[in-house]
């Protein structure tokens, strides 16, 4: 019989603390490859019958450099990955701090729980509050602080608003959007459109149309009919590329790529209705297929952890696999450097963030220096995914479109490229070595090392 490590099973013991009341314990096991922090939260809600009515904090038992036991907070999927790697033997010991709740029956000892067992179940009916709702006060506090910081940055850079343009307008409506188009449907004022979106976002029903402009899918000057013909032709191109998987890569590489993509897709936005349900739902299949197609048709970049978070909101908005792939290629023209093996673009982003922080908030920067945190590596995921995972899904959609609108238009000269350049011979050899290392890293679920983030010769970013 295969060992638990070979099966990828991690034993978990949880201690629930309720003030002066006696502690309660639960024991179960999970597959670390498909268990995200969100899934773990649902498991704990189910295990202790919390029903999302109260906030609770999760921490895991670890040891510091002196070997002293200490509980570290679980705030993200990466924290959970670190817990699986460093503190899961002989079992991962968790603690949740909550308000008093009713007793509940124990789970079967070391019951292996799958995400589909909890994500698709009806845990939060009726008036019960979700975890997102419970976290709303924190989110509002964060947004308030971001607003204060933005104000300071605006003052530092002497930003000003014209009398005819005021911040924080209502979302862009369909009728207003048409005012930026000519009688033939050509976009005549792209910079003004972006500024308008920057100050109010886009109505949800209009995102499917407007995001294609923000993601630089259309060449300049297309009429309404030309845009329709363009998308039909690019859709046929995507279908052709998708049908060429086996001719563009070996069966072994296809299996490796497909496996890595699927692991991440099964952990991406599963609590959102668009991706909820069974693991073979058409939306999860579409997300897996478009990411696999991108990896195969862009061998210099291939697939890296985090790409599923970029593609997920695009697919949910477009609700069309081919159109989502076209938009994904548009945004990856700008973001693919985030996932390059040399790590140069991420290093530049860290340098820019450090300069901005030192200039706009020297007091806070001095505090980070005093704590040895001025490398800002805790911002890695923020920069990699442009803050997509730091907000609730619907809020992230608004945040992303506002962020994209802050960038100048960069339409393709002729059309958005769906096929990347091939690997050179020496690149192909290094790619094989990278994939060998990536298999090892994924087996142990390691995040990138600090050396990989700051050294141009470091490994692939994930």
Identity of the highest mean pLDDT range in 10-14, 124-128, 225-229, 372-376? 225-229
CB 130 within 8 A of CB 49: no
Examine residue 90 and say whether the peptide bond preceding it is cis (omega within 30 degrees of 0).
Answer: yes
Number of Cβ atoms within 10 Å of the Cβ of 272 = 15
pLDDT digits (tens, 9 = 90+) for 153-175: 444 444 444 444 455 789 999 99
Among 57-71, 117-131, 352-366, the minimum mean pLDDT is found in: 117-131
Residue 442 has pLDDT above 70, yes or no: no
d(CA 173, CA 431): 46
Could you tell me which of 38, 57, 31 has the C-alpha nearest to residue 123?
38
Average pLDDT over residues 412-437: 73
What's residue 425's pLDDT?
59
Output b/e per residue, 346-361; b: 16+ Cβ within 10 A. Answer: beebbeeebeebeebb
CB 105 within 8 A of CB 26: no
Average pLDDT over residues 263-276: 94
Could you tell me which of 242, 237, 251, 244 has the C-alpha nearest to residue 293?
242
Bigger pLDDT: 20 vs 393: 393
d(CA 121, CA 47): 13
Q: Checking DSSP bridges between strand 10-18 and strand 21-30, what pairing results, if any? A: antiparallel
What's residue 432's pLDDT?
58
What's residue 48's pLDDT?
79
Bigger pLDDT: 393 vs 429: 393
Average pLDDT over residues 38-53: 74
d(CA 134, CA 52): 7
Average pLDDT over residues 131-145: 43
Terminus-to-terminus CA distance in the chain, angstroms? 33
Among 71-85, 205-219, 419-433, the minimum mean pLDDT is found in: 419-433
pLDDT band at 49 (very low <50, low <70, confident <90, very high): confident
CA distances from 304 to 95, 276, 278, 316, 442 (A): 32, 23, 24, 20, 11
What's residue 234's pLDDT?
97
Bigger pLDDT: 76 vs 339: 339
Bigger pLDDT: 389 vs 155: 389
pLDDT digits (tens, 9 = 90+) for 281-310: 999 999 999 999 999 999 999 999 999 999
pLDDT digits (tens, 9 = 90+) for 181-201: 999 999 999 999 999 999 999
């Amino acid at each position: 019989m295969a060992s638990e490590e070979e099966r990828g099973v991690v034993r978990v013991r949880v201690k629930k603390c309720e003030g002066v009341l006696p502690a309660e314990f639960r024991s179960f096991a999970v597959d670390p490859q498909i268990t995200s922090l969100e899934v773990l939260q649902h498991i704990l809600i189910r295990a202790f019958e919390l029903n999302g009515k109260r906030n609770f904090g999760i921490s895991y038992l670890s040891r510091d450099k002196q070997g002293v036991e200490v509980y570290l907070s679980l705030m993200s999927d990466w924290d959970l990955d670190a817990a699986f790697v460093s503190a899961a033997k002989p079992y991962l010991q968790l603690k949740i701090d909550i308000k008093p709740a009713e007793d509940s029956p124990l789970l079967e000892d070391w019951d292996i729980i799958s995400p589909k067992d909890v994500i698709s179940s009806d845990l939060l009916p009726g008036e019960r509050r979700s975890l997102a709702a419970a976290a709303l006060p924190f989110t509002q506090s964060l947004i308030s602080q971001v607003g204060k910081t933005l104000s300071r940055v605006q003052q530092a850079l002497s930003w000003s608003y014209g009398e005819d343009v005021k911040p924080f307008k209502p979302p862009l409506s369909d009728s207003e959007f048409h005012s930026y188009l000519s009688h033939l449907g050509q976009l005549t004022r792209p910079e003004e459109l972006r500024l308008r979106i920057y100050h109010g976002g886009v109505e949800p029903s209009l995102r499917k149309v407007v995001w294609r402009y923000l993601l630089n899918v259309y060449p300049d000057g297309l009429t309404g009919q030309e845009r329709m013909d363009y998308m039909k032709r690019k859709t046929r191109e995507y279908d052709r590329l998708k049908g060429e998987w086996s001719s563009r890569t070996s069966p072994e590489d296809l299996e490796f790529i497909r496996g890595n993509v699927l692991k991440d897709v099964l952990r991406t936005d599963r609590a959102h209705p668009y991706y909820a349900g069974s693991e073979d739902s058409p939306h999860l299949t579409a997300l897996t297929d478009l990411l696999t197609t991108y990896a195969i048709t862009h061998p210099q970049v291939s697939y890296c952890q985090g790409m599923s978070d970029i593609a997920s909101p695009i697919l949910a908005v477009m609700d069309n696999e081919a159109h989502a792939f076209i938009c994904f290629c548009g945004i990856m023209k700008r973001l693919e450097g985030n996932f390059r093996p040399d790590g140069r673009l991420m290093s530049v982003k860290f340098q820019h963030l450090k300069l901005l922080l030192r200039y706009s908030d020297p007091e806070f920067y001095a505090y980070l220096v005093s704590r040895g945190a001025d490398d800002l590596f805790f911002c890695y995921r923020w920069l990699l995914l442009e803050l997509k995972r730091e907000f609730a899904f619907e809020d992230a959609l608004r945040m992303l479109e506002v962020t994209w609108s802050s960038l100048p238009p960069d339409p393709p000269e002729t059309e958005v490229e769906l096929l990347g350049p091939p690997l050179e011979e020496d690149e192909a050899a290094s790619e094989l070595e990278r994939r060998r290392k990536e298999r090892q890293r994924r087996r142990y679920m390691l995040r990138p090392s600090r050396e990989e983030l700051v050294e141009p010769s470091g490994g692939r970013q994930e």
